[in-house]
Structure 1
Amino acid sequence: MERNRTGTVNFYKDFIKETAKNFLMGNAAFQKWRAKRPRAGAYYTGKDEELERYAFLGLNLLRKHVGDVKGKSICEIGAGDYLTSGLSMLAAGATRYAVIDRFPGDYTGSIAKEWYRVISDNWAKTYPEIDWAEDIKAEDFPENYGERLELIKQPIETAKTKSKFDIVCSFQVGEHISDIDAFAEMNKRLMVETGGVALHRVDFGPHDSWFWYKDPLTFLRFSDKVWNLTGSNRGVPNRFRHHQFMDAFERAGFTVEIVYSADFVEQTIDFPRLHPKFQAMPHESMLVGTAIYLLRLK
């Protein structure tokens, strides 16, 4: 995928297009129609990279940065269209899995069932060192596992449950939340006090039309007021930056370890064209394109 779009004409055309999308999402009938469609391009077509992205990414990151999930209870924030990562985590030995999603997907439909089947079929090849848990079967997931599954159908920032979890996690969700302080506090509510951890992968890059621009921070040229015209009715990036997440986590009482980060190519960014709000932010924070945060209570 070549990302080389430039030019004022393209800039304004894309702004108009994204504003029109937002206008449509403000229509109740359109919202209802859109809600019935898969959100993340999550059809399985037989490619290994699809399994890696949509089924195994969360488990792989947890194993790498947190450790073995066997015997752990896990709460994932924003699981996507299907419970693919949930099945993978339970198959790897997790005791319980909860998902927080205000707009849950079709977890029991035919597309979801196909995903669950291929996860099972590809398990031994992908994880030869991990035996598939004997107490879970892909063919009757998730219907027959209500005692081990919890669906929290609430807004991410204010979600509440009586349950506590050993691990709280999210992958490409933090960039869509509206209140990072509320998000940080929610982690504290969900996490067990002794030994609990949270792992969050945040993508600070562009989405939608802005993804194709040579300058990855083109979408930071707008004021907040203008930016909201493109996304007040849909989940566009919130434009919070790396240092703001760090500050929010620390205010909530966490120690924060950055276990992974990747920067934008600095030479592709036209810093003088950013909105003054972003020009005033720490330069090193503006360069962060992706970060994975590991949180522990102080």
Structure 2
Amino acid sequence: MSLAQQRLRARYGASGGALPEAACSQLIEQLLDHRSVRAYLPDPVGDDMLTAIIAAAQSAASSSNLQAWSVVAVRDPATRAALAECAGGQTHVRDAPLQLVWLADLARLARIAEITGRPAGALDYAEMFLVGVIDAALAAQNAAAAAESLGLGTVYIGGMRDQPEKVAELLALPQGVVAVFGMCVGHPDPARPAAVKPRLPQSVVLHHEKYSLAAQEPGIEAYNAAMAHFYDAQRMNVHGTWAVHSAKRIAGPQTLSGRDRLVEALRERGFKLR
């Protein structure tokens, strides 16, 4: 079995099908092997690696080339510890030698408009906030792939949205800039290896010509079984199926870890969201 097929099976299970040789590449093999790393060695991530990672990030697509994102590289242990508390006490945020905090950044565009003596009323609209978020996400995914190609591990930290005002204070973010998510980066600890997590079958997420909810149900049932096996193999204390776990996560505002007030926080950060 080829390396690509092994990784495809890890991602989808035995029913995941096969990739024709013509559809395989080193990049696809690497992407199929992605896993969220939450245990790191203390070894630092050097400036050369950081420069390469950010160059990859800046090579991502950007809406109208506005490049409405920025990133703060945090190495200081005290700041990482404070960010960890902002993110619900996640120890890997504290322990990873590098935390990249990805930002939707409209402040730079506002400043450019000011310098050039032009209006900037469009920045008040939800569309421009979405441009910043999408640009940051595209850049970050390029960065994650680049980091993994260098032998590093990563994990995204959505908990940076739990307390956006506190994160802004820690990182001295101006109005019109907000942390969208963080990303731990470091050398994975071989004593605590991360596993490849199964994903929904393509029959659930890939639609041909028209969208169908009903067509997804058999794939979701199969995925419930695959994730039950994963939970057991990883000794994860998850009660119920993936579907039950996901339903619990969206049950109400109390399940959003403080992010139920995100619109209010964004407006306080200067995003009017018209």
TM above 0.5: no
Structure with larger RCO (C-alpha < 8 A, sep 6+): 2
TM-score (norm 1): 0.27
Structure 2 length as normaliser, TM-score? 0.29
